Structure 1
Amino acid sequence: MTNFLDVATEDNLQYQFFPVSSGSVTFKVRTPNDAHLALTLGPQESDPMYEVFIGGWGNTKSVIRRNRTKPDKVEVDTPGILNGGEFRGFWVRWDGGVVSAGREGEVIPFISWTDPEPFPVGFVGVCTGWGATGTWKIEEGAEFDTPDQLEYKFGPVATGLLELQYRGPHNCHVCLTSTAAEVDPMYEIILGGWENSQSVIRYNRQKPDKVTLPTPGLMNPNEFRKFLIEWKCGRLLVRDGSNGAVLMDWVDPAPFPITHFGVRTGYGARGQWRIAHFLGSSAQNPQPSAPQAAALYSTPPGYPGGPAPGGAGVWAEASGGQVPPEAVLGGQDSNGEPLYVARAQHEGAILPGKLVASHGCAYVPWGGQEHGKPTYQVLVGGPNNWVPTNGSNVPPGAFPGGQTEDGETLFIGRVRHEGSVTTGKVQQSHGVCYISFGGQELGFPDYEILMA
């Protein structure tokens, strides 16, 4: 996966985000000054966040900044490092808290800083500003070939939708995993297998297959065939990309977070691929884009209030794993995926919980169980001030996030559990913060609570 994604940036300091699966990104940029990169948990500007400014201050110096605040963590003189008439190559790496940048062909970075409190980076954003427009070539795996061998090539996914085009005689294999490797749990979709006679959905590389479908002549070695693969709350759909018709459909009773896809060919087949898996991809049938955070969202029946108290944010309607701009980051899953503050209706209650974008749904805790909700609301543009507390000690000014079926106010809390920081509901009368985790509702007497 060594192709380059072409990106144009305007003079507006607005980042364009792309998912990353490794601890580095390589790119070429043509701009007179101010090539800015952001390293974030999710596909938007939100803390925590690293920024690497290359050729700032009139193309005289470069800096590393954390959380958009000064003073800069490190500053170096780099006169003439960028050029508006030619591409200049660079790399940016992050590993164990060390953030560094270097020139193409040079091993030693020209700028580096160690963060004592590192966070997992899932996205890279690029922009230009201060009188500069830019053209970027970012190393990514949007189009590539696969040889005749049963070895997956992996790339990251940002939403519950993967669009692919495949040209080959047979055996188009796609896997969905929680890491860039063949490990369980794992979904496999085999299209045009068995000499282009049938297609299947397989779980953990085991038989019997979950779905088997006769598909004679599905693939063609002389033309690209298009497919859409969707996953929402454990439901896996494979569609014909030309007309949207469902080819295969299976529901996993115990879904797992999907962060990567893999592709391969084999059994005498070589394949050519075109992959669209970024947010805002050119898929014909993408999931609807989320509304802009600046809008005043309509509130569904039963939801108390649209705007948050004091004008500190609003609740944005979303579905299918959508993450609205300026969504409030609540924590991260055990695998490092960001979790956002969300809420949903269940059994007459409005329950705060967590949005797991890769699952295509939000989860809320209720009745001892974890409940997946494909439609939900996300807190956007709101506070991100978490205060430790315990039991029924809800401090004044705590942020109300919903209510029980009996009308008791529920607040937004979070706890650390098994390597995650998971958001959930604080029920004062019970003296605990409830989270949904691993299919269960778990209660914790010590927690952090979100303040307005």
Structure 2
Amino acid sequence: MQSDDVKRDSDVEYSGHRRWFHSSYTGSALQGGYEADGKPLYVVAAYIMATFTPGKYGHHLSGACIPYGGEERVCEDFYVLTTHNSPWIYSWEHASNGNVPHNAVRADEGKDSYGEGLYIGRVHHEGSLIPCKVHRSHKCAFFGYHWKEYKAKEYEVLVCTLKSGQAGEGEEGEGQKEVKE
């Protein structure tokens, strides 16, 4: 999120409709899932190899857990997605094989080493619902579990719509279409 369209206000970064708090603050964080024992998991992202990469965080974890390069990496420097004062309604939609809905939420406006944006997703795995990244060109979602990175062809994608009566800058993903291969 280190681009000209991002506004920085103390420990909050804004990119489009997304508000990322730079810390482990979870007061208005978007809960994206849970552990098998019921502990909440929040949608987070951290910079890995200059790419703003989505993952998970819970108070029981030592930092943000980000799937990358075959591993689940723990990052102490991370951002938590928040819904505080947001004019957007967030929900989850089923997708598969690298497809994302037209209003899917990207982690930021940047691109990864493959030249594409990463989307925020979540995966059901062994009784847990795990926030993760969706990588369209790899045709899957990647998630971290027990220190390894796994991939899933079936996943849910975070989507957003503008609350009625709210003025906004346009829906996330405006001009994009669902990609089906």
Report the TM-score range of the alignment, normalised by the length of the smaller protein. 0.7 to 0.9
Structure 1 residue ranges, 4+ long, deviating more than 6 angstroms after superposition: none
**Structure 2 residue 99 is the aligned partner of structure 1 residue 397:** no
1:424 CA displacement: 0.4
Q: Is residue 328 from structure 1 mapped to residue 30 from structure 2 by the alignment? A: yes
CA distance in 2, matches of 1:405, 1:335: 35
Correspondence list, 1:58-207, <5 A: none
Q: What does residue 140 of structure 1 align with?
A: none
Query: Is the CA contact 1:323–1:357 (under 8 Å) kept in the aligned structure 2?
Result: no
Using the TM superposition, give the Cα deviation of residue 435 of structure 1 relative to its aligned residue in structure 2, in angstroms: 0.4
Displacement after TM superposition at 1:299 (Å): 7.4
Cα distance in 2 for residues equivalent to 1:317 and 1:398 = 22
Number of the residue aligned with 1:439:
147
Distance in 2 (alpha carbons) for counterparts of 1:360 and 1:338: 14
Q: Alpha carbons of 1:421 and 1:374: their partners in 2 closer, same or farther (altered >3 Å)?
A: same
State TM-score, norm by structure 1: 0.31
Q: Which residue number corresponds to residue 387 of structure 1?
A: 93
Q: How far did 1:349 drift?
A: 1.5
Alpha-carbon distance in structure 2 between the residues aligned to 1:365 and 1:394: 19
Counterpart for residue 412 of structure 1: 120
Q: Matched residues in 2 for 1:299 and 1:426: separation?
A: 26
SS of match in other structure, 2:22: strand
Q: 1:357 aligns with which of 50, 59, 75?
A: 59
* Counterpart Cα distance in 1 of 2:9 and 2:79: 10
> Given residue 104 of structure 2, which amino acid in structure 1 is its aligned partner?
A
- Equivalences for 1:206-221 in 2 at 5 Å? none
Is the contact between residue 98 and residue 141 of structure 2 (CA under 8 Å) also seen in structure 1? no
Cα offset for 1:405?
A: 3.1
CA offset at residue 394 of structure 1? 1.1
* Alpha-carbon displacement from aligned partner over 1:98-124 (angstroms, at most 9, x marks no partner): xxxxxxxxxxxxxxxxxxxxxxxxxxx
Instruction: Name the amino acid aligned to 1:405.
Output: S
Q: CA deviation at 1:431?
A: 0.7
Deviation, structure 1 residue 335: 1.8
1-side partners of 2:10 and 2:44: how far apart? 16
Q: Which runs of 5+ in 1 are unaligned?
A: 1-295, 301-305
Query: Counterpart of 1:317 in structure 2: which amino acid?
Result: H
How far 1:307 moved relative to its partner? 2.0
- When normalised by structure 2's length, the TM-score is 0.75
**What is the count of residue pairs matched by the alignment?**
148
Residues 94 and 156 of structure 2 are in contact (CA less than 8 Å); yes or no, is this contact kept in structure 1?
yes
C-alpha distance in 2, partners of 1:393/1:343?
21
SS at match of 1:358: coil
Query: Kindly, what percent of the aligned residue pairs are identical?
Result: 31
**Which ranges in structure 2 are unaligned for 5 or more consecutive residues?**
1-7, 161-181
Bigger Cα Rg: 1
Mapped contact 2:106–2:120 kept (Cα < 8 A): yes
Q: Which has the higher contact order (CA 8 A, sep 6+)?
A: 2
Distance 2:35 2:158 in 1: 18
Question: 3-state SS of the aligned residue for 1:429?
Answer: helix
